[in-house]
Amino acid sequence: MAETTAIAPAIPFALVSTLSAATVERLRAAIARPMAAATRRALLGDGRIFVRWCAQANQVALPASPATVQAFLAAARAAGRKASTLRRYRSSLVWWHATAGFANPCAAPGTGTAVAAAPVPPDEVILGRLDAYLALAQRAMAPATLRALRADARVFAAWCAARSLPWLPAAPETVQAFVDDLGASRRPATVARYLGSIATLHRAAGTANPCDHWRVQLARKAHRQEQGARQRQARPLGDAELAAILDRLSPDGGAASLRALRDRALLLVGRDTLARADELVALRWADLEPVDPDDPAAGPGEGTILIRRSKTDQAGEGAMAWLSADAMVVLAAWRAAIEAAIDPATGAPAGAGTFLFRSLARRGFGERMSTAAVRRVVAERAANADPLAAGFTGHSLRVGAAQDLLAAGVDLAGLMQAGRWKSPQMPARYTERLRATRGAVAQVRRARGAADT
């Protein structure tokens, strides 16, 4: 879900007589910080329900006593609220109390929460530094990187809150316990990302980095040895698998035809460019051009497209990628179709828009697809072609294209250039199974077997 920032929202605790003006401003600033829109709505809505109930019951809403919260939850349960709603109420009350700097009223027996006490919130100076860092990071970081940083911060902060431990700054012993506790359910790459995010947040806040401590380093090393560092790889979707998918993508009119055209174009462009999902959804019509007809190396109908920014090109220098004549034909058909299609939201022709691949929701067409939508298209179209297919993701086209190139005789340097890799690690990983079948041992054994027969 996209993160948005509310401007000076009205908070439900603003008129609670027990709160100082400074505390109210702290609450208002906290609820206005970047967070998922659904989370903000839940916090505000649950807070209003609780404040209203406290006013009717003549109870203090903030800080609330454990008995008050227990009575509120009992009344909500008697009113028919679901268990999931009661859990959300508890979580919201924990957040409001912790943000205001009060003890957690849900810690008492009978409230049904595992949170033992209020978390220790960062002080205002640290929060100010962190806000300044995140504001600048929005301009300098890739959106996916920033989303991961925020998500990791939420995971770590929630883990610390459940144990009454400060998360910023965090002690090395806290981070070590975090790795030990989550390690059983997380892969080494995920733990490494968590630690990288924790380190980044501490550097941004101007505090000592606990991840540099020997405790954390040894905990990470122990986790890698216990779990193994090998990552799962997306199932390759090469030319053979893609041909079967495209055979079933025959337009049959209406919205299905429009979606089929878009998905066919997406798959062909992904195959030709070896683009990552976030690169595919950022491609623009303005950057699509046919090849120079005077170029002796180019074939008729081929084209090029600019990949403006990528995971390995955060500066935005851009890289030109080649497109086959097949991809160019389908792109032209898709563009004509989307220009004439009626947008359900407006009742008017949708138009091509800025980006190559628009979302096609029933409630209205979006400006562009999401990376999650790319993953769904690949997985669903692969499943339609082969009901037993599994393991296909948004990276499958990239992996499959790399393997096809290697099978055609392209060396590792050529693969790196085609996929815009800065190091040989990932292309070598993607093609290791294929390279094993072409390795020295395989060649010698095959030759000896042929000689014996």
24 and 129 in a common domain: no
Check which CATH number belongs to the domain holding 312 and give it: 1.10.443.10
Question: How large is the average pLDDT for residues 12-16?
Answer: 86
7 and 101 in a common domain: yes
313: in domain: yes
Domain housing 199 = 124-227
322: in domain: yes
Question: How large is the average pLDDT for residues 365-374?
Answer: 90
What are the pLDDT digits (tens) for 243-263?
888 888 765 545 568 999 999
Is residue 5 over pLDDT 50? no
171 and 75 in a common domain: no
Q: What pLDDT was estimated at residue 117?
A: 36
410 and 309 in a common domain: yes
User: Whats the size of the chain, residue-wise?
Assistant: 453
Cα atoms in the 13 Å half-sphere on the side-chain side of 303: 19
Q: What percent of the chain has pLDDT over 70?
A: 85
When the pLDDT of each residue in the chain is averaged and rounded to a whole number, the result is 82
pTM of the model: 0.55
Is residue 113 over pLDDT 60? no
Q: What pLDDT was estimated at residue 161?
A: 76
Question: How large is the average pLDDT for residues 6-16?
Answer: 73
261 and 218 in a common domain: no
Q: What pLDDT was estimated at residue 109?
A: 43
Residue after which a domain boundary falls, among 52, 76, 107: 107
What is the token pair recorded at 254? 């209406």
Q: What pLDDT was estimated at residue 164?
A: 73
290: in domain: yes
Q: What pLDDT was estimated at residue 114?
A: 32
Q: CA 429 → CA 231, 421, 434, distances in Å?
A: 10, 12, 10
Is residue 27 over pLDDT 80? yes
Is residue 7 over pLDDT 60? no
115: in domain: no
What's the pLDDT band for 356 if we cut at 50, 70, 90? very high
Q: What pLDDT was estimated at residue 6?
A: 41
What's the pLDDT band for 433 if we cut at 50, 70, 90? low
Three-state helix/strand/coil letters over the chain: CCEECCCCCCCCCCCCCCCCHHHHHHHHHHHHCCEEHHHHHHHHHHHHHHHHHHHHHCCCCCCCCHHHHHHHHHHHHHCCCCHHHHHHHHHHHHHHHHHHCCCCHHHCCCCCCCCCCCCCCCCHHHHHHHHHHHHHHHHHCCHHHHHHHHHHHHHHHHHHHCCCCCCCCCCHHHHHHHHHHHHHHCCHHHHHHHHHHHHHHHHHHCCCCHHHCHHHHHHHHHHHHHHCCCCCCCCCCCHHHHHHHHHCCCCCCHHHHHHHHHHHHHHHHHHHHCCCHHHHCCCEHHHEEECCCCCCCCCCCCEEEEECCECCECCCCCEEEEECHHHHHHHHHHHHHHHHCECCCCCCECCCCCECCCCEECCEECCCCCHHHHHHHHHHHHHHHCCCCCCCCCCHHHHHHHHHHHHCCCCHHHHHHHHCCCCCHHHHHHCHHHHHHCCHHHHHHHHHHHHHC
- Show Cβ contacts of residue 366 under 8 Å, excluding neighbours closer than 6 positions: 358, 359
Residue after which a domain boundary falls, among 171, 201, 227: 227
Q: What pLDDT was estimated at residue 2?
A: 42
What's the pLDDT band for 313 if we cut at 50, 70, 90? low
Q: What percent of the chain has pLDDT over 90?
A: 25
Residue after which a domain boundary falls, among 227, 260, 282: 227
307 and 352 in a common domain: yes
Q: What pLDDT was estimated at residue 355?
A: 95
Q: Is there a cis peptide before residue 63, judged by omega within 30 degrees of 0?
A: yes
246 and 383 in a common domain: yes
232: in domain: no
Question: How large is the average pLDDT for residues 129-139?
Answer: 84
Provide the Cα torsion 278, 281, 287, 291; round to 10°: 90
What's the pLDDT band for 8 if we cut at 50, 70, 90? low
Domain tally, the chain = 3
Is residue 40 over pLDDT 50? yes
Least confident of 101-110, 207-216, 295-304, 398-407: 101-110
Q: What pLDDT was estimated at residue 357?
A: 94
CA terminus-to-terminus distance, the chain: 62
112: in domain: no
Question: How large is the average pLDDT for residues 332-343?
Answer: 93
301: in domain: yes
- Show Cβ contacts of residue 241 under 8 Å, excluding neighbours closer than 6 positions: 382, 385, 386, 400
Rounded Cα–Cα distance for residues 51 and 35 (Å): 22
Q: What pLDDT was estimated at residue 359?
A: 92
192: in domain: yes
Is residue 64 over pLDDT 50? yes
198 and 128 in a common domain: yes
400 and 369 in a common domain: yes
Rounded Cα–Cα distance for residues 338 and 360 (Å): 10
Q: What pLDDT was estimated at residue 283?
A: 94
129 and 19 in a common domain: no
What's the pLDDT band for 107 if we cut at 50, 70, 90? low
261 and 184 in a common domain: no
Check which CATH number belongs to the domain holding 13 and give it: 1.10.150.130
218 and 150 in a common domain: yes
